[in-house]
Amino acid sequence: MLNSDQHILSVVFDLDGTLYSSPELAEEIAAAADVAVASARGVSLDEGKKLIRTSRQRLTEINDEEPTLSLTCMELGLELPDLHRYFEIEVKPERYLLEDPVLKSLLDSLKPICDLYIYTNNNSALAERIMKLLGVGTQFRKIYSIEYCWLPKPDREAFQKVLEDIGGPPESFLFVGDRDQVDLQPAKELGIKTLLVRETADLLQVHKLLGVIP
């Protein structure tokens, strides 16, 4: 196998919505956030939902883009570790995810020519469960989960730490994600190559960028 772009040595993937797509699981994560906010504020579940909706609308108006769930909840005074404790209890990816042999073979074909990483706003316990269910629990060299520095994407400081920890010049990286602003913008600002994934089939583009036939 030839790597036509010899510069790319590290491919950093977002997890949720990038390596798999499950509206049901995304809904369950959102519902867990409703419970977390309601509990933290001591209000009913309906009130919690309303608070999140209002916070999201406000942040969307201010920043002209939809905020992440992390930011929406932080804006309501919720501590991220508390939010993730709820995710761990309430979210059951086992209900929705199955092994994905196509994804597994795509990643297997990349592994000999570059190191693969996950950089996610999800917590490590949930991320590992999700990856195991998809059948890709061993393909990645390291997972940068929310616990890495408790600064959810997009965050330039956390992004720099991830880059430094992996090591290598900007041209040795490729960032892959389903949200341009969240997953790719900090990379773009440094001239790092990026790939926006609208559906999991778009992951094949990684191979094209690297000159690999999966």
Interface residues with Mg ion (CB under 5 A) are 14, 16-17, 178
Q: Which is nearer to Mg ion, 48 or 177 (CB)?
A: 177
Q: Which is nearer to Mg ion, 18 or 172 (CB)?
A: 18
For residue 189, what are the contacts with CB-CB under 8 A and spacing of at least 6?
none
CA 207/CA 3 separation, integer angstroms: 9
CB of 146 to Mg ion, least distance (A): 13
CB of 177 to Mg ion, least distance (A): 6
Q: Judge contact between 158 and 148, C-beta under 8 A.
A: yes
CA 152/CA 94 separation, integer angstroms: 24
CB of 67 to Mg ion, least distance (A): 13
Q: Which is nearer to Mg ion, 16 or 34 (CB)?
A: 16
Q: Which is nearer to Mg ion, 3 or 124 (CB)?
A: 124
CB of 6 to Mg ion, least distance (A): 29
Residue nearest to Mg ion (CB): 17
For residue 59, what are the contacts with CB-CB under 8 A and spacing of at least 6?
66, 67, 71, 72, 75
Q: Which is nearer to Mg ion, 17 or 48 (CB)?
A: 17
For 195: left if phi > 0, alpha if psi spans -120 to 50, otherwise beta; the answer is beta
Q: Judge contact between 121 and 152, C-beta under 8 A.
A: yes
CB of 56 to Mg ion, least distance (A): 16
Taking the CA atoms of residue 9, residue 162, residue 84 and residue 91 in that order, the dihedral angle to the nearest 10 degrees is -10
